[in-house]
Amino acid sequence: MIPDRARCLELMAEEGMPPHIRAHSEQVAKVALAIGKALQSAGETVDLALIEAGALLHDIRKIHSINDGGNHARQGADFVTSIGFTELAPLVLRHVNLGEWDPKGRVDEAEIINYADKRVRHEEIVSLEERFVDLLERYGVCEGSRTRILRLREEMEMLEAKIFANLPFNPEAIADR
């Protein structure tokens, strides 16, 4: 079962999602849906309802992990599973780190949400370059963190190339869609 937009917004309120995280999640959903619709128009098979719900709820437990510690992606996946939205769990879980993925395979919903999340800094749609400069400034305090962020940037550049390979516009145009 996939919750509709209204149910996702209710869950955000019920879980005490702060306005800035909600605004971020709504922007991620906007970017993810624009990509999903463009991929559909290009002949790809993606589930727009799944993309929207996954994008809206990708940070559903972020404030809890900020306050209490823990991995917000794992907590979010566990939460959506606990309320019966098991289809969303892999998307929420993979929004920070994709884990195993096929750079040449079909673009899937988790990849779209993961990429869309990397394109939204707070509430602003930005390039991957801008987003990773921000991530390095905020989280690259030690060599290990910097190395992980730089590795993630390389992965996101490959994912961006995969997503946009068959689309009639470039990544910079996503903010206008």
Q: With bands split at pLDDT 50, 70 and 90, how would you rate the model's confidence at 109? A: very high
Structure confidence at residue 66 as a pLDDT band (50, 70, 90): confident
Is 163 in a helix, a strand, or coil? helix
**pLDDT reported for residue 65:** 81
Token pair recorded at residue 57: 């709820």
67 has a pLDDT exceeding 90: no
176 pLDDT band, cuts 50/70/90, is confident
Could you tell me the pLDDT band of residue 70, with boundaries at 50, 70 and 90? confident
Q: How many CB atoms lie within 10 A of CB 152?
A: 17
Question: Tell me, what's the pLDDT at 111?
Answer: 98
- pLDDT confidence tier of residue 63, bands split at 50, 70 and 90: confident
The pTM of the full predicted model, rounded to 2 decimals, is: 0.95
Q: How many CA atoms lie within 13 A of 135 on its CB side?
A: 22
- Mean pLDDT, rounded, of the chain: 95
- For residues 77 and 90, the answer to whether their CB atoms sit within 8 Å is yes
Rounded Cα distance, 127 and 174, in Å:
9
Question: Which domains, from first to last, does the chain contain?
Answer: 5-176 (1.10.3210)
Mean per-residue pLDDT, 109-121: 97
| H/E element, 54 | helix 48-56
